[in-house]
Structure 1
């Protein structure tokens, strides 16, 4: 235990554990929490008597100053002593607080701290919120072997006294605000094994004497402003296995002696200004696993000598000026990630060579990469045939060979790629027919074959690819007619066959009823309303009668008689046709009048509701009348049904339908949702069963379903109406006069969590959680809407969810893109995490800037890593927010939005965490309201 004075805040909010162990409530006399806190207090000096309420005779410490407990078991969960002016030492008594989750003792490091080192060997202040400078007195602690000040807000210059700690083995000053040059003298540290100065503001050159640390194993100087070249003395670091100089302004060539560091496992020189060739000596690094030279100015080709780097797992040499033939060793088994463009997918089986100048043919052997999931070789100068062994890649998810010079045909063996979701072969010289076997790739959602020389007809088997969303076959030489079966593709959002040689009638039905003319232009023989070219009518051959059945003699009179008979028959046919048309017109007109009359009669009649009963005025045997049910009370509409679905009453649109507002006769407003997915709705029996189930759900944070209306062609859902509108409107609307306060935002987050938890307890997954589906009551309570609507569909799969329901960009959990991952309640937790970040920051999940696209989750995570997360809070709050709440809430949002479903907490855990976080300081609530 170390003495220290003037201690204010030593540690940042520390979330020790989400899950709590099984416990038994202790007898108050033997309360470990009381004993631990009293022992802790005994080692402190309390000049302002802030801890006077800490009395060992109390039965519980829950009312003590700075202490908060879990009300269910009276165990201490939070100890916040900020600004208490305490000094002394931190006693082991805190170890008795087994349920402690938050400990806050912030401040600077006092100069006197290192003046009484004794035999201290290890000191760590990592991951706190420390400010100020590292005391110069640290140089007097000769016994120190491990020093860690990482992830704070320490500023000033590098403490040169550190170089006098001859026994120092590990030094970590990363993620701070240190600046200036790194001074000479590091060669004195003969035993230094780990040195990390990353993510600071150091400038100047790397110290020339750094090679004196001959046993150094890990060196990380990344994320600074260092300049100059790599010191030659570093070639003496023969024991180094990790070298990272990424994100500086280093220049010159990558030295040839780099290949002498044979213990290197990781070499990262990315995002600098290195030029010249990639040294061939890299082939000597047979222990190398990760190599990153991206974002430099390197030229030439990848050296063939790297075939000797047998343990390589990931290579990123993107954003350079490389050219030449593609090395054959890039296809060897074992390489997990190779990027020569602008991407690097860590942890995936990825081969990305896009946007370079590679030429020649694609090397054989690609079929041996059995775990390959993404193959992107687009925008190069590769030629030859598409390798047939692509069909051996059972895990392949995306293939992009676009923008090359591939010729030959599309191999029918592609049917073996059963997991294939996207196939992009556009802008090549591919010929031949589209293989019918492509229908075996049942997971295909995107098929892009445009700008090639494909011939023949479009295979009807494509209609079996029920997941297809995007199809582009434009600018080819396809012929024949469009298969009528294509209307079965219910998930199509685009289908382009322009500039081919197609003919015949366009399919009628489904997507093709709304297809744009630009998607079929350039096919002069196509007909249909879309192309403003009517299809030719098909008439039976004319009937020719021979009146001279008795003989073959011809005369003027007989010819005249025969002509008269033919004309009479033609006239009869014409008259008959005209009569048929006239009768049809009359019949249709009468039918329309009857239907219109019936509809007017229905719309003129007010909907009468009887709690849980059918619509009483509807004849039971008339299918034109619908069934109307309210779950409670008797009500009808103030102005009749004709005001339900007019444009003036429309208040919103969503993935399931259009929403209208109307009033009941008692003045009670309701929201009517007209479902627009009728083609996917279940039978009436199943529909009513599910709707009645949801009508029984009542929770203060869920929008109440009050009734429904059913016909085979029209389904309406009747909800409670909330005049304040959606969360999206309050966060992103034009009215900035009534900005949500921090207290309102926290209440909304907690309320949403409770509503979502209630749904999950009833085994209901929302699937479509977003700010437009969260309505706000006048009391600031949030109400989640549109839950359970997925159950009205006949089947639940990724395709329906992504194209029909989960349409809001940014909220969709990543497991929706992977058909092998089960969809669970954790997909809602992901959307909830994005909503947290949206509420706290006031920004949309995805924002399109002038030259960039900003993904909210990535932006906040980056700010957290840089120690700037507080800057993410909505600037409209103007500092009027509780940082001790906002920052943990942001971290909770990031945890909920984890890419891995199992890493996300369940909603009950989320509620517990939020309730622990909600601890405003005295008097603060008034400021925040």
Structure 2
């Protein structure tokens, strides 16, 4: 794929050349070993000249963020790509960590709901990551932009389930657990069929499963989506911080709006709090209808809202693992009533720093093989019910046969 381009035939132009600085000369041997390991895992190392050719001199901007600018392009064989060029204006240590975190984590994954890594480029002039191209962009523009083409409620539930499956894969199915740390609508990309793929692994971290929490110090994520333990220091940081962020994303899918609309301090319109209040009054359906959800999608939206309330519990241990979240969203189980969330917002004084007491028996390391009775109950299917009836009938027949045999034997004894 990359070999079809002759580097000497193109003149590379590095984006934002005025910001270029020699930031990639730190610890060169370590970085080179890291890059060589990546190549062994089949991630292709492209040259700056090749990326310049693939992107037609970086002529099409797809988007930008705090870490870099994303350009559209295509390989010589016609496959479309997205090229994320990292900002050189970042402090060199932070830029290096971001690059290594992104390519090392996504390079280890292979899942239909995670964006695919094609390769990377790295030298003293620029650092870039090459991904598959996602035709419909990010989820946020469909939730918050009134001019964007709408998505029906059934498809929104599919997007929520697919996103949950991608995160569950990171947490439970990779050889080492990957914590994303920045789940939000702008980091959920949609392909041509609106299938979701989790992207942007710049803050991600690979963890050993035996470690119950991340010992890293410092705030991670995006305000409004990050779990409260980052600010309050009332709980250790675990992979359950992704569950909280996913819950906040679910609220925005249900409401098709940003969670917070800031006016005056006294009139903060915070959607998650409204969802809980309407849930307490058993009026979720009325609220959902008022936010543009069609009547035939109400039950699905209610399910997403209740799952969101479970995901944003104050205690990480009280939040369900993502494989349980998937089952709850898919609708094959009965979701248990969630406790009141956001106690940290309604507490005052010393209570603010005291974690709420959670009496459940779940483990923070729970997996699909563990008990999820705190969050849902399995439904009995028709086949299961028929099986139970057959077993009960068989047992009753044996019992009746045993009784008849005993009675007959007793009569025989008496007659003799």
Deviation at 1:860, TM superposition (A): 1.1
Give the secondary-structure state (helix, strand or coil) at the position aligned to 1:913: helix
Of structures 1 and 2, the one scoring higher in RCO (CA 8 A, sep 6+) is 2
Task: Report what 1:846 is aligned to.
Answer: 260
Task: Report what 2:93 is aligned to.
Answer: 680
Q: Does 1:604 align with 2:16?
A: no
Q: Tell me, in whole angstroms, the C-alpha distance in 1 between the residues paired with 2:84 and 2:233.
A: 31
Task: Report what 2:351 is aligned to.
Answer: none
TM-score w.r.t. the length of structure 2 is 0.61
Q: Is the contact between residue 672 and residue 717 of structure 1 (CA under 8 Å) also seen in structure 2?
A: yes
Q: Is the contact between residue 649 and residue 661 of structure 1 (CA under 8 Å) also seen in structure 2?
A: yes
Q: CA RMSD in A?
A: 3.8
Q: Is the contact between residue 798 and residue 816 of structure 1 (CA under 8 Å) also seen in structure 2?
A: no
Within 5 A, what are the aligned runs for 1:523-922?
604=11, 631=42, 641=52, 644=55, 648-676=59-87, 677=90, 679-681=92-94, 691-692=103-104, 694-712=106-124, 714-736=126-148, 738-761=149-172, 762=174, 763-787=177-201, 789-791=203-205, 797-801=216-220, 806-807=221-222, 809-819=223-233, 821-849=235-263, 852-873=267-288, 875=290, 877=292, 879-917=294-332
Q: Is the contact between residue 769 and residue 831 of structure 1 (CA under 8 Å) also seen in structure 2?
A: yes
Q: Is the contact between residue 637 and residue 663 of structure 1 (CA under 8 Å) also seen in structure 2?
A: no
User: Are the structure 2 counterparts of residues 827 and 791 from structure 1 closer, same or farther at C-alpha, using a change threshold of 3 Å?
Assistant: closer
Structure with a larger share of its residues in helix: 2
Within 5 A, what are the aligned runs for 1:120-131?
none
User: Are the structure 2 counterparts of residues 742 and 689 from structure 1 closer, same or farther at C-alpha, using a change threshold of 3 Å?
Assistant: closer
Deviation at 1:712, TM superposition (A): 4.3
Deviation at 1:859, TM superposition (A): 1.6
Give the secondary-structure state (helix, strand or coil) at the position aligned to 1:899: coil
Kindly provide the CA deviation profile for residues 429-452 of structure 1, in whole angstroms up to 9, marking residues without a partner as x.
xxxxxxxxxxxxxxxxxxxxxxxx
Kindly provide the CA deviation profile for residues 625-649 of structure 1, in whole angstroms up to 9, marking residues without a partner as x.
xx89873689899986167496742
Give the secondary-structure state (helix, strand or coil) at the position aligned to 2:111: coil
Structure with a larger share of its residues in strand: 1
Deviation at 1:830, TM superposition (A): 0.4
Q: Tell me, in whole angstroms, the C-alpha distance in 2 between the residues paired with 1:718 and 1:835.
A: 26
Give the secondary-structure state (helix, strand or coil) at the position aligned to 1:828: helix
Q: Tell me, in whole angstroms, the C-alpha distance in 1 between the residues paired with 2:46 and 2:102.
A: 22
Task: Report what 2:386 is aligned to.
Answer: none
Kindly provide the CA deviation profile for residues 260-304 of structure 1, in whole angstroms up to 9, marking residues without a partner as x.
xxxxxxxxxxxxxxxxxxxxxxxxxxxxxxxxxxxxxxxxxxxxx
Kindly provide the CA deviation profile for residues 25-61 of structure 1, in whole angstroms up to 9, marking residues without a partner as x.
xxxxxxxxxxxxxxxxxxxxxxxxxxxxxxxxxxxxx
Kindly provide the CA deviation profile for residues 496-520 of structure 1, in whole angstroms up to 9, marking residues without a partner as x.
xxxxxxxxxxxxxxxxxxxxxxxxx
Q: Is the contact between residue 637 and residue 664 of structure 1 (CA under 8 Å) also seen in structure 2?
A: no
| Aligned residue pair count | 294
Q: Tell me, in whole angstroms, the C-alpha distance in 2 between the residues paired with 1:799 and 1:645.
A: 39
Deviation at 1:839, TM superposition (A): 0.6
User: Are the structure 2 counterparts of residues 870 and 757 from structure 1 closer, same or farther at C-alpha, using a change threshold of 3 Å?
Assistant: same
TM-score w.r.t. the length of structure 1 is 0.29
Over alpha carbons, which structure has the higher Rg? 1
Give the secondary-structure state (helix, strand or coil) at the position aligned to 1:824: coil
Q: Tell me, in whole angstroms, the C-alpha distance in 2 between the residues paired with 1:632 and 1:710.
A: 12
User: Are the structure 2 counterparts of residues 881 and 825 from structure 1 closer, same or farther at C-alpha, using a change threshold of 3 Å?
Assistant: farther
Q: Is the contact between residue 669 and residue 721 of structure 1 (CA under 8 Å) also seen in structure 2?
A: yes
Give the secondary-structure state (helix, strand or coil) at the position aligned to 1:701: coil
Question: What residue ranges of structure 1 are gaps of 5+ in the alignment?
Answer: 1-599, 608-620, 622-626, 920-929
User: Are the structure 2 counterparts of residues 864 and 877 from structure 1 closer, same or farther at C-alpha, using a change threshold of 3 Å?
Assistant: same
Q: Tell me, in whole angstroms, the C-alpha distance in 2 between the residues paired with 1:688 and 1:673.
A: 14
Deviation at 1:765, TM superposition (A): 0.5
